[in-house]
Structure 1
């Protein structure tokens, strides 16, 4: 009995304020009825960024893959066409740089998590691509207009909380790392969200979504130029 209690405490550690989900809860959540991203897709986006690293309005493309493991390539361009942001996001690594500023980040996760807009952007897109099945739901909290779900994170060492309305639409995500790094993603509509962190504001509008039979062969390969000043790994 003591061993069972200890195991229960371990499983529910870090889930304060959440209840362990029951089969009837999953029936009410209707996770299977929520639209999920296709296996591979291309998104055309408009992004407004305000940070000490870079600020401005950008158009760009996201190539994403949801299975077997979420991965994303994010490229954003300025008004006159130059590439301004290039990011490759995987659950174990966020690699990216600002081509015009010649500054970048290579964050091996979770050990090198650091407050940086490319990390916030990359991890958020990965979670947006990931499917939310019963196996990821560690805890639930019901509210008048929907649910908060405590999710098993894609990235180790992270806490991810998802707020959904009664119809299953995503309203908000909260991200926290054990290193004190945290941010939020709030959806005002299925086509528009805002990513907020200390010193960083990112406003994203989805302009177009296109499923792909398979991503381009070079989509998930990124080599950072040798003259870029990097924080973290260059791989």
Structure 2
């Protein structure tokens, strides 16, 4: 009943990586997802039809985030907040994808509540995956210890996981919240901005950084090379130098 389906689809634009083939929920064989890991591909039903994760992302960044269950108060506020901010994610070439282990028909009904409560009647605007087989929850380790122990024997709920994936399908950020704590959508957006400016300029960002703030020049770059690349910069300590991203 809860056996995972076998996926054999070859994904366009990522020819070397096939959709993951799952044979069991064996903890010893569970993929280890770390920053820098290749995000596992999967196929699952969603509110927009059958969805292949890699095909859905295409050349975009992606945010995959899980929810404990449909028709729960915190999840409803979260999905509404992400939907309201979707134009900001679109502007950064980021696609959103929600997930819970509830059946697809519950997702479709739940979307109506989200539209009423959080979107002022506007249409919900990104897919929600129905992971009723629990294959994605297993692949991305979206379960508490107790729920993992009963993954093959009964209903489970997913924790609040967030994965930011870049266009190369590399995992760039992992955030995991307990089921009782809602996420901060502004923080997710801030991290996307930091990752994208870092990739573009080969810089890093300091505490509480937000888009438009000065960025930090890595210590691996000499002052001479930093001047050639960035022009002016401010030296606080030999290892802490700031420059404006607006100049580059």
Same fold (TM > 0.5): no
Rg larger for: 2
- Which one has the bigger strand percentage? 1
TM-score band, normalised by the shorter chain? under 0.3
What TM-score, normalized by structure 1, do the two folds share?
0.25
TM-score (norm 2): 0.24
